[in-house]
Structure 1
Amino acid sequence: MPVLLVERAVVVIRIMFVSDQYPPMIGGVPQLTRGLASDLVKRGHQVWVIAPNYGVRDSQRVEQGVHVSRFTSIEWPTYREQRIPFLPFTPVYSLLKECDPDVIHIQSPVVLGNIALILAGHFAKPIVVTNHYLPINMSRSLTKHPVFSKPFSTITYSYLVHFYNRCDFVTSPTRIALDLLIERGLRSPSQVISNGIDLNRYVPGPRQPEVLRRLGLPEDRPLILHLNRLSREKRIDVLLHAVARMRMPAHVALVSTGPAEAELRALVQKLDIEEHISFLGYIHDSDLVPLRRSTHLFAIPSEADLQSMAMMEDMVCGLPIVAANSYALPEQVHHERNGFLFTPGDSEELATRLDQLLEDEELRTRMGQESLEIITDHDRTKVLEQWEDLYQRLARVTANT
């Protein structure tokens, strides 16, 4: 009997994303928001983004097919690169009236997110919000403080849950991230939707020494990759202390920038491991896949990731992972299957696991293959279909009320 192929019906949706974090800011939320917006445009939808402007004036331009409206802002006093827009109620109101989106998708519950939530009621627009935040993302010092950590976490979650309960639908990229909200009183309808990964873009391949030479990395020793924003809650200091304890003469490539870079460089000098560490800063996408293919493993000691896009990209490239056993990282890193989990903050245990993988090529290969199997559940195409289904469902409900 011939197989009948049924094409999925595509309905054009008008989506407005609202985020206080958007490129050129570096980080997971800016990256995934821009990626989701541009991917939806490629699938035939109309997409607008409301975001802060790093300049002195408001601006509007089309970026990768996405209509991006940026509003004048200042830098957050305690968080470099985070912006505070100047409460643009009137222009956002005008934009909502002009664009008439079917759904508004808030990616950060801060200034612009609150403005969108307030104004959406005037236009009877459904609001979907994605949770990307933990209390430690707001302030690591308060989260770890012996006296103030508990009340700070309580206040932070109270604010997040209060905000999300005013929205029509709540999503989170991982189960644990959503459960943390439900345990603290989330009542709005909710669903886990992964950030997703392009399984065709990030693929395994042969080692490419030319990219190592181009980036000034050694070719004669094992290479450990770490790609994450250089901020305190990402605990890159734990990785540096682990390098100082390792038996294997490995080299660590730190990709990205961030507010903690100066103190991390100082720590490298203090530990006397300059020959084992490279600060590569921002690397163009064209170099990232070849770099991953030339890497032995990916290490992530973060205590503040609800879903690491960089880790998922490395898994698609067939790399084994060594990750902190923290929050949602174990949802993708299955201990002793596609890598190892270590006790958060324990640099000695991390060093042991790194040595164990680097000393055993067969183990790395097996675990890398397991990474490829695990990550297939996060296929970007399936994730985009989930978003389309959710947007259409919310738009239909609103239209019928």
Structure 2
Amino acid sequence: MRIMIVTDHYPPTIGGVPTVTHGLAHDFADRGHQVWVVAPSQGSRDERRLEHKVRVYRFSSFEWPAYKALRIPFLPFVSIRNLLKRSDPHIIHIHSPVVLGNIAQILAGGLRKPVIVTNHYLPVNISPALSSDPVFSKPFSSISYSYLVNFCNRCEYVTAPTNTALNLLYDHGLRAPARVISNGIDLKKFTPGERSEQVLQRLNLPLDRQIVLHVNRLYNEKRIDVLLDAAAKMKSNAHIALAGAGPLEADLREQAERLNLGDRVSFLGFVRDADLLALRRSSDVFVIPSEAELQSLSTMEAVACGLPVVAANSYALPELVHHGENGYLFQPGNSDELASYIDKLLADPALRTQMG
């Protein structure tokens, strides 16, 4: 089968959607399918290359001012139309209904190509500022979902990674055929394993203290500020390891200093996959205070590696974390409750083993 994947997020961009689309493209190619990926470039030039049997076409783009993780291509209608005619895909799979997704959908109709769309987005992913504004948040959310659902209703099929994600679309008027299909993780790779003192030392993490791990981009909606507030209230002397980068890093470092957490928090930045796997296996508890997850690959990977999870009771996280079974859910934004659950797990090795 000839498959074209269209996405506004693809490596070297870091995050859940790039991980999903990259993995999907390579898995399809490994199964013998012909795969094309259409994505933004990281600059002002178009790029074309073969990456592990996947033909990747990147089109010149600029950084979206409201959300730095998103790049907007310069409307490459002609180039994508020519690519569609040359590749003649049996199906087009869109992962972001913004510029490239819209162009692909418009052109697919004229060429009679079926389109599947997978939704990974919440309004906050488009504009965190408008989503949190007390006056504009509701109308912005309504407009965003109206646009998104209208896009989905013009596709032949819609998928979403969780029941929460799909029900949000239904609540806003989805009529197209749809089902839940998890993004999934590699359970042969993400398994419990031995603690790695070598990796802890390489990341300058303490060997004599318990590790509370958080893996995510450092953005407002991820609510790392709540985790730092909780760290200041914890009775345990555990060390907080923050793996990820983003525009909020300077503010979070300032908050950590203000809370006198300088020797209890490490900002690790980007951590390569091999070290990140070892870090999960070397940690004691995983925490995700985010209030904007339609699934959360990092949480799924932590659970697969045998870590108990403390998660915000928000959006799709309760589908992954079952309170009292494989972790605890806390009220979003409540750092006191978060601190108490972390302390409870750290103080009880048997409980961590039971939940991991």
Q: Note whether the superposition's TM-score is higher than 0.5.
A: yes
Aligned to 2:263: 275
Aligned to 2:239: 251
Aligned to 2:166: 178
Q: Note the alpha carbon deviations across 1:203-254, whole angstroms, 9 max, x for none.
A: 1112111110111100111101110111101001100110011000011111
Q: Note the alpha carbon deviations across 1:291-321, whole angstroms, 9 max, x for none.
A: 1111001100000110110111111111100
**1:287 and 1:190 mapped to 2: Cα distance?**
37
Aligned to 1:235: 223
1:121 corresponds to 2:98: no
**1:350 and 1:167 mapped to 2: Cα distance?**
41
1:110 corresponds to 2:112: no
**1:247 and 1:207 mapped to 2: Cα distance?**
24
Contact 1:224 1:297 in 2 (8 A): yes
3-state SS of 1:21 partner:
coil
Aligned to 2:194: 206
1:79 to 67, 74, 98: 67
Contact 2:241 2:265 in 1 (8 A): yes
**2:244 and 2:54 mapped to 1: Cα distance?**
25
Aligned to 2:315: 327
Task: Tell me which amino acid in the other structure corresponds to 2:56.
Answer: V
**1:301 and 1:64 mapped to 2: Cα distance?**
36
Deviation at 1:144, TM superposition (A): 2.4
**1:181 and 1:55 mapped to 2: Cα distance?**
33
Contact 2:230 2:339 in 1 (8 A): yes
Alignment of 1:2-401 (within 5 A): 13-368=1-356
Aligned residues: 356
3-state SS of 1:17 partner:
strand
Contact 2:243 2:267 in 1 (8 A): yes
**2:347 and 2:164 mapped to 1: Cα distance?**
33
**1:105 and 1:259 mapped to 2: Cα distance?**
30
**1:254 and 1:39 mapped to 2: Cα distance?**
30
Runs of at least 4 residues off by over 6 Å: none
**1:312 and 1:112 mapped to 2: Cα distance?**
29
Q: Note the alpha carbon deviations across 1:340-379, whole angstroms, 9 max, x for none.
A: 00000111110001000000000000000xxxxxxxxxxx
Q: TM-score, normalised by structure 2?
A: 0.98
Contact 1:26 1:257 in 2 (8 A): no
Contact 1:300 1:322 in 2 (8 A): yes
**1:143 and 1:204 mapped to 2: Cα distance?**
38
3-state SS of 2:60 partner:
strand
**2:128 and 2:80 mapped to 1: Cα distance?**
32
Task: Tell me which amino acid in the other structure corresponds to 1:269.
Answer: E
Contact 2:39 2:59 in 1 (8 A): yes
Deviation at 1:138, TM superposition (A): 1.8
**2:69 and 2:164 mapped to 1: Cα distance?**
27
Deviation at 1:56, TM superposition (A): 2.3
Deviation at 1:85, TM superposition (A): 0.5
**2:265 and 2:321 mapped to 1: Cα distance?**
24
**1:163 and 1:324 mapped to 2: Cα distance?**
30
Task: Tell me which amino acid in the other structure corresponds to 1:367.
Answer: M
Cα gap change, 1:56 to 1:143, in 2 (>3 Å): closer
Aligned to 1:376: none
**2:282 and 2:134 mapped to 1: Cα distance?**
42
**1:246 and 1:64 mapped to 2: Cα distance?**
46
**1:180 and 1:42 mapped to 2: Cα distance?**
33
Task: Tell me which amino acid in the other structure corresponds to 2:72.
Answer: I
**1:81 and 1:28 mapped to 2: Cα distance?**
11
RMSD: 0.9
**1:141 and 1:241 mapped to 2: Cα distance?**
22
Moved more, 359-368 or 41-50: 41-50
Contact 1:226 1:255 in 2 (8 A): yes
| Identity over aligned pairs, percent | 60
Deviation at 1:142, TM superposition (A): 2.1
Task: Tell me which amino acid in the other structure corresponds to 2:60.
Answer: T
